[in-house]
């Protein structure tokens, strides 16, 4: 009798797989932080240039709070070695 041997790809959690839209197929901490920084700059510029001062200041503060939370999430992902996971080179 012969045994069927299959190579199953490693299982990843749904949460970490869902972050692939931010970091691409080969994630790195630099790409994640670059995306967060670029989105922050675009939103702050948009709010400051298009809205009146009290509203733009409030929304800019909210964007900065979300940015800090995103940086903390990036640090947690880095501690969980998400950015160091080996990827399958076969396509």
* Size (the chain), residues: 91
pLDDT tens, the chain, 91 aa long? 556 656 656 666 666 666 666 666 777 888 888 889 999 999 999 999 999 999 999 999 999 999 999 999 999 988 988 887 666 655 4
3 in a structural domain: no
86 in a structural domain: no
**Domain that residue 40 falls in:** 27-78
87 in a structural domain: no
Half-sphere exposure of 88 (CA within 13 A, CB side): 8
* Whole-prediction pTM: 0.68
C-alpha–C-alpha distance, residues 91 and 89, integer Å = 6
User: Per the structure, how many domains does the chain have?
Assistant: 1
46 in a structural domain: yes
59 in a structural domain: yes
């Amino acid at each position: 009798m012969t045994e069927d041997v299959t190579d199953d790809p490693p299982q990843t959690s749904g949460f970490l797989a869902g972050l692939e839209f931010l970091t691409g197929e080969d994630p790195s901490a630099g790409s994640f932080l670059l995306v967060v920084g670029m989105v922050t700059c675009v939103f702050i510029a948009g709010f400051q240039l298009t809205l009146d001062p009290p509203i733009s200041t409030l929304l800019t503060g909210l964007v900065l709070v979300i940015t800090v939370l995103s940086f903390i999430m990036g640090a947690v992902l880095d501690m969980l070695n998400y950015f160091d996971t080996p990827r399958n080179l076969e396509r």
